[in-house]
Copies of this chain bind each other. A is one copy, B any other.
């Protein structure tokens, strides 16, 4: 039986999971493919380190050339993560005519186009299913199954860490407490910045939007707001009004332009994504043929992610056996990313104000002058002694720029002590 040799870069959580799956399912996969997958070399930083998944010491190397320059290695699986040296390794592997499978969202989001062009030039495959949504086959579905669809919108919960934290806050915990819980469970890093500030979600959204809209959406161009400013109180008000709060990654095509953003959003309770809880991810796609399609599953973890890595490895193996790589489609419609100030949304606003007559009138006047109309208002007396009250209001559709300007003026009103929360409302 023919053998295909794999070089693995990285033996961390996903790398270990992939090695384990390859070992456990080797025979089954071989029978399915009609060829054997063999891991020839594994690049690690520290060969002495004890690993959850033990690796044959003979396979370990600290020298990338042992894999990237080995002509016997046909598939390089990059599971190091981070921008460099991962990007250089991938580029070098492609240059050497090797197929590449990666789970690296940062590299694909920032350099996917260049690397795919290189893969096309060298007539090899570059697959990255595991870079978005863990075990959810969202890349394959967009790339292949929705080919007949004009996609108009993607709404996604694609960061499990933040969704876990927000699910905890829904139960009344405050942000710091929920974050600590996520860290205790290993869902959040000691330095959670990448997740809680929406950076990770922006990488994934850039990959999805680039595929869905056939345009090169760069992660640094995606406006993003993290979840660090959210308060348990907002979840209670949201519930009162029939909403939940999620970190939403959204991209849509509108009048030939692309809108893309990552930020917390109030979702109506009957929204398809409203019931996505804990570390689970979900991607909701609107297409002209399918109408709505949702994929839901585990967006992270060794097993789900290695499920995607193995699917890619098997697809590459098949294309090697068939003698031709899968075609790569680099055409772009050249649709532009819309200036965020021009993007329309509804807004949720929570303010501490002086408990005196005419306060709401002053705020309403500012919004009215900006031609932003109010959809609903809740006013509650909070602290009688301090004679302060709390106003929560939701607007109708308004442009980001107008809203930002109005917000500036509201902040300057003497009767407004503090604007505590400012959250977008999705539909």
Contact = CB atoms under 8 A, between A and B. Distances in A.
Interface of A: 21, 25, 29, 31-34, 129, 135-137, 140-141, 144-150, 272, 275, 287-298, 301, 303-304, 306-308, 310-311, 314-315, 318, 321-324, 326-327, 329, 331
Contacts of A308: 145
Copies per assembly: 2
Interface-centre pick from A287, A291, A298, A301 (highest chain B CB count, 10 A): A291
Nearest to A145: B137
Contacts of A296: 272, 292-296
A104 to B, nearest CB: 19
A114 to B, nearest CB: 21
B147 A129 contact: no
A201 B148 CA distance: 26
Contact of A34 (B34, B311, B327): B327
A298 B303 contact: no
Contact of A329 (B32, B291, B293, B322): B32
B327 A148 contact: no
A274 to B, nearest CB: 9
Given A31-B331, A311-B146, A324-B323, A293 B297 contact: yes
B289 A304 contact: yes
Contacts of A327: 33-34, 318, 321-322
Given A289-B303, A290-B304, 12 more contacts: A32-B147, A34-B327, A144-B315, A148-B306, A148-B314, A289-B304, A289-B310, A290-B303, A291-B301, A291-B303, A294-B295, A318-B327
A307 B149 contact: yes
Interface of A is mostly: mixed
A160 to B, nearest CB: 12
Nearest to A293: B297
Nearest to A319: B322
A275 B306 CA distance: 29
A145 B311 contact: yes
Interface-centre pick from A137, A289, A321 (highest chain B CB count, 10 A): A289
Given A31-B331, A32-B329, A322-B322, A144 B311 contact: yes
Of all A-B residue pairs in the complex, the 7 with the closest CB atoms, nearest first, are A148-B310, A137-B145, A289-B307, A135-B290, A293-B297, A294-B296, A322-B324
A249 to B, nearest CB: 18
A99 to B, nearest CB: 15
Contacts of A25: 148, 150
Interface-centre pick from A33, A145, A150, A322 (highest chain B CB count, 10 A): A145
A321 B287 CA distance: 27
Contacts of A148: 21, 25, 29, 306-307, 310-311, 314
A291 B297 contact: yes
Given A140-B140, A297-B294, A147 B29 contact: yes
A171 to B, nearest CB: 15
B298 A292 contact: yes
Nearest to A147: B314
A304 B291 CA distance: 7
13 contacts: A21-B289, A29-B147, A34-B327, A137-B293, A141-B141, A290-B297, A290-B298, A290-B303, A290-B307, A293-B295, A294-B295, A294-B297, A321-B327
A272 B298 CA distance: 13
Contacts of A323: 323-324
Contacts of A291: 135, 297-298, 301, 303-304
B137 A141 contact: yes
Nearest to A311: B145
Nearest to A318: B327
Contact of A145 (B140, B147, B322, B331): B140
Nearest to A18: B148
